[in-house]
Chains A and B, each alone.
Chain A
Amino acid sequence: MPEGSEDRSIAASVSRRAVLGAGAGSVAALLAGCGSPVATGLFGAAPPTHNLTYWNLFTGGDGDNMVKMETAYRRAHRDVQVDATVLTWGTPYYTKLSLATSGGAPPDVAVVHLSRLDTLTKAGLLSAMPTDELSAAGLPSDKFTPAALRKATIDGAVHAVPLDTHPFVMFYNVEVCRKAGLLDASGKLKPLNGPQELTAALRAAQRVTGQYGGVTTVTNDPSTNWRFFATFYYQLGGTVLADSGTRITLDDDKAVKALTFMQSLTRSGLLPKSVDAGGTTSLFSTGKAGFLFDGEWQIPTYRDTPVKFDVVPVPHVFGPKLVAFADSHALVIPRNSAMNPERRAIAMEFIKSLLDSSAIWAEGGHIPAWLPVRDSADFEKLRPQANYVAAATAAEYDPPGWYSGAGSQFENIVGAAVATSQTTSQSPAGAVRAMRSGLQPYASAIPPVG
């Protein structure tokens, strides 16, 4: 083929393409133009000119509430198209978030657990939120639950906007406790302090139910075992890890003390020795156990059952002050070189909007971290949520470490060891040894981050 004709054909095709492109562009511009008659005619309003991707891990009741909160944002910001993606809870979620971010294609806003924040930040996956940026977006740092904000602050910089605190709490069956004489004149549970009082209360409840005093999941649920143990162990002032998980600071005496108390409950038959999540739900909802130790996020589960229950922080069994095991959901902006100030402002505005809707979020049992909502009259009236606000103030999280956090290897290892003590197949001291030997390979490995 002669060179000239090839050139001409390329030139022709380019110009054809250019013309078509320009044509399409002008049509698009016509459609997109604010107030354009075509656009308003077709869509009733200007079509969205921005879009925002948002990843979260909420399904079930929390998922429904989150959708409501997104809808509230969409209604107020018709120019922003929110693409919300719900991914599988736990490790798969964090794997996807990490790989998407390091691959340069992260969402604009994502939900994380604060217990996972340390690792994500040290891996360089999150962008810090300077205090003045937060204030400018209407999110001054003094308007958050201090414990949650402290956990969201790493090396002096805020890396996440806390949405809630979700503590491990104690549910009680109101009817059972009334018959057991555990309620005060106003129908609330009398305060229980120390191991004897809690044990006595469980025994009184057992006499009423005829089966168990209380229940907490033991089988196939390492996280719950860890949370139950952490509540008492933290009350004793114990710690598990230090230096990003490279040092095990487990205090054998304190851990044995906590486990011995917990085992005394299952050994004496006050709590079942082995019960899975389904069994727990069935025992508490049918009144065969008077107390339930679980996360407040189970409130929607029991609201659908006939059981009449109330929720309080886990009693103060050890130590001088209330300590509650908890975690928090928080909103982060993953590191992204393609993020421009305009887009970031939209992201911050979206975060602010979610916080403003956190009254909806609280219905799932969570305590809002955003104080304007938490201290509002509406939340004060919300039961049982308002009962355990103290647990958010006294919140203690998973220890920081590259293998720690919600649904992590750390929870699996420690929780599995706790379970062996709860089933009485192992002594408390043996369970502590199992924790130590299970954590050792991780603690002695060179951390991948941090």
Chain B
Amino acid sequence: MATTIIDDGVSTSAATVTGRRAGPRDEHRAGWLLSIPFLVLYLIFLVGPAVYGIVMSFFNATTVRPGLGKSVGFDNYRSILTSSDFWSSMGHTVWFTVLTTPPLVILALVLALLAERVHRGKALVRFIFFAPFVLPVTSVTLIFLWLYAPEIGLIPHWFETVGLTPPNLLGETKWAFLSVAALTVWWTIGFNFVLFLAGLQEVPRDVYEAAAIDGASPLRTLTGIVLPLLRPTVVLVTMLQILASMQIFNQMYLMTAGGPGTSTRPVMEFIYDTGFSDYRAGYAAAATMVYFAIVLVVSVVWFLLRRQSNKEVGA
């Protein structure tokens, strides 16, 4: 994954050009042969199940029984598209994305800029910001369940210290979103931080020097040089973050289980609940396809934006 991310589209084309010049036909064949193990696994574990999922969405398939069951045509899609439960869970996912994306992009950029300026102990600073990201989700949620716990938790205690009545951090819908969003920012900011650091290192030293010689203030250097040169990374991180936030399931399921009621249930949990707990595999498959289409639209937007920004940088 990391290689595709850092790939700016320019180096690849150069590589293929040289490859074509030197490469006779059997080099192509070797390439295919070497890809076969990957392609086989890809077909069996990704393409196969995805196609099966599409087929399943047209049947009244049951999770606990083999086979597809009765064909229902577009009924599953019809009832998903008119299901208020599905759309409200979609709304919860979007709200979570809105809550998490800005801090995870802006804060990560600020942290990266600060870390870049550190002269001594840079590795330590990087480690500190990246460390939470390597924790498994179960540990993170366990830590935060304790922090948020009413009466005994640290965060309610802080509220009391400054004289405020602590809110029900996980039991009240609006606070539950904020609480899980805060957890997510703390937990995953390290990943974006590292991407921004890599982007910052791509900025040539001599540009800084030229700016310094011209007498540009640090702020001017930042807005006039660093940020424009960092634009591809910003677009990339933003879009990756939107896609990641739209897939929210783990933290939400472990912290609130979608509650109170289903008021924080993200769309992934809706699919899990209908597909596994209610045994409605076909219906859940249809929900997955609708959700997939929405994520696909977002990805296409990402692709177009990325191409745009690459072009501008290349020009």
Contacts and interface: CB of A to CB of B under 8 A. Distances in A.
Interface stretch (A16-24, A91-99, A266-274, A289-297): A91-99
Contacts of A402: 278-279
A314 B182 CA distance: 46
Given A102-B65, A416-B261, A446-B72, A123 B279 contact: yes
Contacts of B60: 446, 448
Contact of B277 (A91, A124, A446): A91
A101 interface: yes
A106 B62 CA distance: 18
Interface string B186-213: 0000000000000000000000000000
Given A95-B276, A445-B283, A125 B64 contact: yes
A395 B60 CA distance: 35
Nearest to A95: B277
A409 interface: yes
Q: Which of B64, B261, B280 has the most CB of A within 10 A?
A: B64
Contacts of A446: 60, 70, 72, 75
A449 B279 CA distance: 8
A98 B278 CA distance: 10
Contact of A102 (B63, B79, B283): B63
Contact of B62 (A92, A123, A403): A123
24 contacts: A91-B273, A95-B277, A98-B63, A99-B63, A99-B64, A102-B65, A123-B64, A220-B261, A222-B261, A402-B279, A412-B262, A441-B85, A445-B79, A445-B280, A445-B283, A446-B70, A446-B75, A448-B60, A448-B63, A448-B278, A448-B279, A448-B281, A448-B283, A449-B64
B171 interface: yes
B56 to A, nearest CB: 12
Interface string A398-428: 0000110000010010001000000000000
Interface of A: 91-92, 94-95, 98-99, 101-102, 123-125, 220, 222, 402-403, 409, 412, 416, 441, 445-446, 448-449
A448 B62 contact: yes
The 6 closest A-B pairs by CB, nearest first: A448-B279, A102-B64, A448-B62, A95-B277, A123-B64, A448-B280
Given A125-B64, A448-B279, 6 more contacts: A441-B83, A445-B283, A446-B70, A446-B75, A448-B63, A449-B62
A86 B205 CA distance: 60
A268 B19 CA distance: 85
Nearest to B70: A446
Interface residues of B, number: 23
Nearest to B282: A448
Contacts of A409: 278
A101 B63 CA distance: 11
Interface string B266-300: 00000001001111110100000000000000000
A446 B60 CA distance: 7
B260 interface: yes
A124 B63 contact: no
Contacts of A95: 276-277
Contacts of A449: 62, 64-65, 279
Contact of A412 (B70, B261, B280): B261
B58 to A, nearest CB: 13
**Which one of B171, B260, B273, B279 has the highest number of Cβ atoms from chain A below 10 Å of its Cβ?**
B279
A123 B65 contact: yes
Contacts of A102: 63-65
A402 B276 CA distance: 13
Among B63, B79, B85, B171, chain A packs the most CB atoms within 10 A around the CB of B63
